[in-house]
Amino acid sequence: MGRTVPTYRTVLENLIEEWQEFRRALRKEDKEAFDRLMEKARMHASAASYDARTDPVDSLIISILLEQEKELGELRKKIAELEQAR
């Protein structure tokens, strides 16, 4: 029995593929940053699958923002630890 609605993971990979022309135009270091952003989006594909938004780009963006917020929190914690060690 086939699916009539593509999974979020399939939609996400299609979105990432649509951005490949943009990626190709980037400098090497920017391509690496772009790839890291897309990996962040993939990290929350399971959660995004439960989301009923009509535009999957919203889930892609919030997934990236969530991972960046976590990274910022870790950096803030490390900075605080370094400042206390002085």
Model pLDDT for residues 20-45, shown as the tens digit of each residue? 999 999 999 999 999 999 999 999 99
Q: Which domain holds residue 26?
A: 8-85
In a domain, 23, yes or no: yes
In a domain, 22, yes or no: yes
Model pLDDT for residues 51-71, shown as the tens digit of each residue? 877 899 999 999 999 999 999
What pTM was computed for the model? Answer: 0.84
In a domain, 32, yes or no: yes
- DSSP states of 17-66: HHTHHHHHTS-HHHHHHHHHHHHHHHHTHHHHHT---S-HHHHHHHHHHH
In a domain, 40, yes or no: yes
